[in-house]
């Protein structure tokens, strides 16, 4: 069989017409249990925490999109992360790329440290620091690229080589929420596990919370599958359906998100009240060459710093008309927020603390002229 392109996989992978009825869209199997023909004689489904056909379709879809062998779906991105962390033992070391999602830091720092796991934070762009931080107890390197909220880049292929060269052979887990598999596929670059908050770009319409994992290793898959059922942080079939529907237009949306974000970053960089712009494909980004090598486009996230600091940042964030002041990202509608006071509040006082004058945008797919005019008007008030 020929290998289908990403766009074809996004629409068809894991979602053949329903075998029972021929329905082109995967049905929402809203059931908690399945009738058995005889004791233990069933069609592959016994109880809906263990399995659900709508969830199966989504799990197969994410595996195909990430070029992985296995996919798993969870009640949220954090539930997916939590399930991976449960595979480790007290005393294990986990390296974390600095500048991670605030909720990830919170789970590691405020919860799993209590269970005897040790987390060490390293700058993903500093290979020497990474080499120096690897120990005989390191079990995993957890990272994001681009990072949140500073849009820093990690060179996945080089990091994979570096980590795999160390005798502990730690797992490499990449939170691919910002980039999506349309922009980059970490498993192909040497990562072992990919995690998504499908709540964001994969769903794309701000109407469901869900997490996904993709991987190749059979043994780790069996362990995660066991935990998915045993701990039970599973998504409902309706939410699986919404993410499946979102995935069908992922490539179309990501192209427009990136086109709009590139224009917004150019506008901001030229604005006299803006001191710094963070966007992977912008000419001012120190890792632009790596971004262009590793990612299909720059994505839809833009952060910027204001010369007027926190007070000016608050005025801008509260002064837009189209950009909604809200946490989250990745939907068709544009959002604006202040990471230090909102999404990254849990990092206050830690080495991951974010500048209070930083503004983060999730650039949507509205008309770009309207978005630029909206930011221009808000900046006038700052």
Ligand X SMILES: *Cc1c(COP(=O)(O)O)cnc(C)c1O
**Active site amino acids:** 49, 101, 175, 200
We find the least distance from the C-beta atom of residue 9 to ligand X, in angstroms, to be 23
The residue number with the shortest CB distance to ligand X is 77
Q: How far is the CB of 144 from ligand X (least distance, A)?
A: 6
Residue 136 CB, shortest distance to ligand X, in Å, is 29
Kindly tell me which of 139 and 196 has the beta carbon lying closer to ligand X: 196
Binding part of the chain for ligand X, among 70-78, 233-241, 261-269, 344-352 by CB under 6 A, reads 70-78
In DSSP notation, 31-70 reads -SB---SBTTB-SS-SBTTT--HHHHHHHHHHHHHTT-SE
Contacts of 24 (CB under 8 A, 6+ apart): 17
Residues 141-180 that bind ligand X (CB under 6 A): 144, 148, 175, 177-178
Contact flag: residue 190 with ligand X (CB under 6 A): no
Separation between Cα atoms, residue 111 and residue 114, nearest integer Å? 6
Tokens 């999602």 belong to: 101
Instruction: Work out whether 199 is an interface residue with ligand X (CB under 6 A).
Output: yes
Whole-angstrom Cα distance, residue 307 to residue 272? Answer: 9
CA distance 154 to 142: 11
Query: Which of these ranges, 29-37, 71-79, 301-309, 318-326, lies near ligand X under the rule CB under 6 A?
Result: 71-79
Among 14, 68, 77, 339, interactor with ligand X by CB under 6 A: 77
Nearer to ligand X, 31 or 328 (CB): 328
Does 184 contact ligand X by CB under 6 A? no
Residue position matching structure tokens 């709009």? 260
Can residue 78 be called a binding residue for ligand X (CB under 6 A)?
A: yes
Return all residues near 133 (Cβ < 8 A) that are at least 6 apart: 95, 120, 122
Residue 152 vs 319, nearer CB to ligand X: 152
What are the tokens at 11?
Answer: 């629409």
Token reading at 61: 């879809």
Alpha helical stretches, state H, 214-352: 218-231, 237-247, 250-269, 288-294, 309-317
- CA 38 to the chain's CA centroid: 42
Work out how close the CB of 102 gets to ligand X at its nearest, in angstroms, rounded to a whole number: 9
Nearer to ligand X, 85 or 134 (CB): 85
Q: x-or-dash pattern for ligand X, window 92-111, by CB under 6 A? A: ---------x-xx-------
Residues 6+ apart with CB under 8 A from 263: 368, 371, 372
Question: Is residue 200 involved in binding ligand X (CB under 6 A)?
Answer: yes
Q: Is 76 in the site for ligand X (CB under 6 A)?
A: yes
Where on the chain is the footprint of ligand X (CB under 6 A)?
76-78, 101, 103-104, 144, 148, 175, 177-178, 197, 199-200, 209, 211
């Amino acid at each position: 069989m020929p290998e289908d392109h990403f766009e074809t996989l996004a629409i068809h992978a894991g979602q053949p017409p329903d075998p029972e009825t021929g329905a082109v869209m995967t049905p929402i199997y809203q059931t908690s249990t399945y009738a058995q023909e005889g004791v233990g004689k069933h069609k592959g489904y016994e109880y809906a925490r263990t399995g659900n056909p709508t969830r199966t379709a989504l799990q197969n879809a994410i595996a195909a999109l990430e070029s992985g062998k296995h996919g798993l779906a969870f009640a949220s991105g954090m539930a997916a992360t939590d399930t991976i962390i449960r595979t480790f033992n007290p005393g294990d070391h986990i390296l974390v790329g600095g500048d991670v999602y605030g909720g990830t830091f919170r789970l590691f720092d405020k919860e799993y440290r209590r269970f005897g796991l040790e987390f060490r934070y390293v700058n993903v762009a500093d290979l020497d620091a990474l080499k120096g931080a690897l120990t005989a107890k390191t079990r995993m390197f957890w990272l994001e690229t681009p990072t949140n909220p500073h849009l820093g880049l990690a060179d996945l292929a080089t990091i994979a080589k570096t980590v795999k060269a160390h005798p502990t052979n730690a797992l490499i887990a990449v939170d691919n929420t910002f980039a999506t598999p349309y922009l980059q596929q970490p498993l192909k670059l040497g990562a072992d596990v990919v995690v998504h908050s499908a709540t964001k770009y994969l769903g794309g319409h701000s109407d469901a919370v869900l997490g996904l994992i993709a991987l190749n290793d059979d043994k780790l898959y069996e362990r995660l599958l066991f935990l998915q059922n045993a701990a039970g942080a599973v998504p409902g079939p309706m939410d699986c359906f919404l993410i499946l529907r979102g995935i069908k237009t992922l490539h179309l949306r990501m192209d427009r998100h990136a086109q709009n974000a590139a224009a917004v970053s150019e506008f901001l960089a030229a604005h006299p009240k803006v001191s710094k712009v963070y966007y992977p494909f912008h000419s001012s980004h120190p890792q632009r060459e790596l971004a262009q090598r590793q990612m299909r486009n720059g994505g839809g996230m833009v952060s910027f710093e204001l010369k007027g600091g926190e007070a000016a940042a608050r005025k801008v964030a509260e002064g837009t008309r189209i950009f909604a002041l809200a946490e989250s990202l990745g939907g068709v509608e544009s959002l604006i927020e202040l990471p230090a006071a909102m999404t990254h509040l849990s990092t206050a006082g830690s080495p991951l603390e974010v500048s209070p004058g930083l503004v983060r945008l999730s650039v949507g797919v509205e008309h770009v002229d309207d978005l630029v005019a909206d930011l221009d008007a808000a900046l006038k008030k700052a």
